[in-house]
A and B are shown apart, each in its own frame.
Chain A
């Protein structure tokens, strides 16, 4: 069964430093997609970055990059030059397509705190 594991309940980082949030996934599909979302204290879900299983290069979006290691089934999010506004919950998710359906499977999340 498809599953997302985020092993870090909480992470702390100093402002302006880089931080890596871990995500491992389990799937038997050959074609899949991985997402990272940010959820600030206000509660909305903000899309950060997407990695397709066939993408040869790691995805990047501004200060966000995805360290995709297909053989290890990991899709870690790297945030460079952390800012105070990066303090939030971060969720890794995988798209599950099956029998004409399509749904996101989420991990439990990592709470990131950026210290001044």
Chain B
């Protein structure tokens, strides 16, 4: 049973270019989460998606960042016109449960991350 897959593992972009990060959730998982980890920091939530729906994008910067999880294919995190401050590790996680009141949440399984370097 393959785990969460992310590609590329390393991505180098020049300032102003676009970065596309891909995430394939674990088989059977329909919930995808993206997190960003700046150097020497913990992970920060960016966005939570289900198939064809954005559930919570409260952690996404308002401009240049977008995410999608189409009916077919991987989830994509897209960063337009990258700047040096976008350099970070971007982690995708997946789960098969969306929390509702009164129930314990299930674990989120993390991918290996994509290290984005903006030069």
Within 8 Å of chain A (Cβ to Cβ): is B109?
yes
CA of A101 to CA of B103 in the docked complex: distance in angstroms?
13
> In the complex the two chains form, is B43's CB within 8 Å of A106's CB?
yes
Q: How many residues of A contact B (CB 8 A)?
A: 28
Known contacts A103-B56, A107-B42, A31 near B103 by CB under 8 Å: yes
> In the complex the two chains form, is B45's CB within 8 Å of A103's CB?
yes
B57 nearest in chain A by CB position: A101
Inside 8 A of A53's CB, which chain B residues have their CB? 104
> In the complex the two chains form, is A35's CB within 8 Å of B55's CB?
no
**Interface bits A80-108 vs B (CB < 8 Å: 1, else 0):** 00000000000101010101111111111
> From residue B93, how far is it (CB to closest CB) to chain A in Å?
8
CA of A101 to CA of B58 in the docked complex: distance in angstroms?
10
Known contacts A101-B55, A103-B48, A43 near B115 by CB under 8 Å: yes
CA of A4 to CA of B95 in the docked complex: distance in angstroms?
22
Seen from chain A, the residues whose Cβ lies within 8 Å of a Cβ on chain B are 4, 31, 33, 35, 37, 43-45, 47, 50, 52-54, 91, 93, 95, 97, 99-109
